[in-house]
Each structure stands twice: as structure tokens, then as C-alpha cells.
Amino acid sequence: MIDGWYSRGVRSRRAPVDPGRVTAVACATALAAAALLAACGPRVAAAGPGNDPSQGPAKVGPPPAVAAGREVVLGEMCPEAASGRPAVSAVVARRALSWSSEPDDLDALVARGSVQAFAVLSYEGKRAGTFTVAGPVEVDTVAPVALGAYAGQAPCATPATQQECTESLGGCGVAVALVAPPGSDDLPELRAGGACVMGDQLLVDTDGDGAAEAFPIAAFLDAMRAPEEEVMGVSARGTACSEPRFTLPGVVPAADPRAWRGMDLVGVVDLDDDGKTEVLLQLRYGDKVTWAVYSATQIATRLSLVAEGEPWGR
């Protein structure tokens, strides 16, 4: 079950707003009129999320609990994307207790000045630079794009990983901005993590306790190579990555370049500062690229797909 609502490539689902059943308690006792009037009033029972007809019946049970955290926008910063100028494609937003990849919601944040500056991470997960938003730009892309100025190193500047970074991310990098009132230029402090592949398992510390959790790599994709909504793992306490990586290309290898070009890990980072590490995956299809954001919303060994967005392509 995905908390809130989400978008899956060209398919999207939004939990319908259902005010539920409103009941009114009759206050008939005159002697306690004041107290009873204060106690009376509408009580709304909200319904759970609806189901996408393309995916069959909705799963039974409450949505995963989401801890309170900061509001952020996740994007992809490309140094020369807008006619040779730096720009950020806004991919996913975390607002209150929900994640969103709806283009209209993201566009509203950029257009209204609610996002002023992005912290841009390098391929190794370190702070590479700062992107300052000038405003939205009209482009023919799925996700809204912010034009601006970039100060810092290129995300693929490290010689040891430059070629690998360019091949998997096209020279672009993960960018994260705070949702804040206009005029604020504060940057989020990001806690980046690492992961590794051990056999057919992806090892990553999802709850920041220093012990890894192991997730079967094949479980992240369904039969159509779309991201699964939930991935169950096990505690790998006592097992550690010898060389944890922030980014891992080719976690799932390519098959047919016209249909499936593989899945990469593009980041392990606590986006919303709730103490849980998000796992950012890049799925490369023949005609598009999508980012899937997974988070351990309830327990460390269960990753839920909280959002999927389509950054502007490479």
C-alpha cells in the first residue's frame, strides 16, 4: 500500500476525497445546553485510498504511517539541460504526510516561489553545489522545470567515476530543496547513505541504526518491469557492505535496449529528515526514464513505493 497518492509513469492514481458519513449528535437536554452544544458537531470518518482499475482491488488495511518530517522537492539538476544552461526537473514533492509526483502540484510549488534553492549531490553523495531557482521555464516535458544558476562542481566531476556517472545519469545529479515561504534560501542538510549488491540482495541501512537490511533485487520489479508497491526484506545485522555506494549503476542489467535499459540506484538519502533513509531507483525504459522513491514507512525491513516520477529525459 502506498501512503498518500502516487503516479506510476503514464498511469496515475489519487486517493479520492471522501468526506465519509457525517453524523450529528442531537443535544436535547436543556439543563446542559452549553456543554452539550460544545460537544456536538460533525464527525468525519475518512475513507481509505481508492483503487486503480488497472491494478485490481485495493489492498485491505490502513495506509502505512508516515512520520512527520520536513517538506521537500526532489529533482534532477542538469548543468546544461536548458539550451546549455543549468536547470532542475522537479520530480517528487513531500508535503505534510503525503508524497506527490503530480506535475500540477510540482509546477505550483515552482511557480509560486515555494522552492528557492536546491542542494545538489555528487555521484558519491556529497554536496556538489547549490542551484538557485530563477523561476519556471516553458518546456515540453512531463515534469516542470526550473531555470536558474548553479554554483559548484559538476555532479560527475570526480575522475574515478566520471564516465560511469555520465553513462547512468547523463552528467546530472540528485537535487533536493526545502518547501519554504518566498524569499527563503535555506538548504536542507542531507544525510546520505550507501548500499551494495551482495548476491541477489540489495543491502542498505534504512533506519540509520548502523545495521543493514537486505532486500531481494528482483522484488523491486513486477512482471512488466514496473516498480513494485512493496518490497519485503530481512535484517542483515552482522553483514555489512565492504564498500557502500551512494549510487550503483546496473543493479538490474539491461535486456533489450529498445524496451529495457536496466535499473540503477541513484541515491540513498534521508530526504525528509524523519530518520528513515529513502532509496531512489532509476528505471530506464526504451522511451523514457522514471524515478521510484522507496521508504521504510513502518518497519526497517519493508520498503514502500511512496512516489514515482518521470524526470525530463536524457
Q: Measured between alpha carbons, how far is 202 from 216 in angstroms, rounded to an integer?
A: 6
Cell 456536538 belongs to 40
pLDDT computed for residue 68 by the predictor: 58
pLDDT computed for residue 74 by the predictor: 98
81 and 151 inside one domain: yes
Global model pTM greater than 0.85: no
Helix spans in the chain (H): 33-39, 103-111, 162-169
Q: Measured between alpha carbons, how far is 123 from 92 in angstroms, rounded to an integer?
A: 19
Q: Is residue 184 part of a domain?
A: no
Band of the pLDDT at 16, cuts 50, 70, 90?
very low
With CA atoms as reference, report the closest residue to 213 among 192, 195, 193: 195
Domain final residue, candidates 46, 63, 80: 63
Which residues are CB-contacts of 203 (< 8 A; sequence separation ≥ 6)? Answer: 195, 196, 197, 212, 213, 214, 215, 236, 239, 240, 241
Task: Name 150's bridge partners.
Answer: 131
Q: Give 53-103 pLDDT, tens digit per residue.
A: 333 333 333 434 445 579 999 999 999 988 889 999 999 999 988 999 999
Domain final residue, candidates 152, 178, 204: 178
Domain count, the chain: 3
Cell 516561489 belongs to 113
Structural domain for 44, as ranges: 1-7+17-63
With CA atoms as reference, report the closest residue to 264 among 185, 166, 138, 188: 166
Band of the pLDDT at 22, cuts 50, 70, 90?
very low
36 and 83 inside one domain: no
Q: Measured between alpha carbons, how far is 106 from 95 in angstroms, rounded to an integer?
A: 11
42 and 112 inside one domain: no
- Indicate if the alpha-carbon torsion angle 171, 177, 183, 186 is positive or negative: negative
Q: Give 292-302 pLDDT, tens digit per residue.
A: 999 998 899 99
pLDDT computed for residue 52 by the predictor: 37
Q: Say if residue 173's pLDDT is above 70.
A: yes
Q: Is residue 46 part of a domain?
A: yes
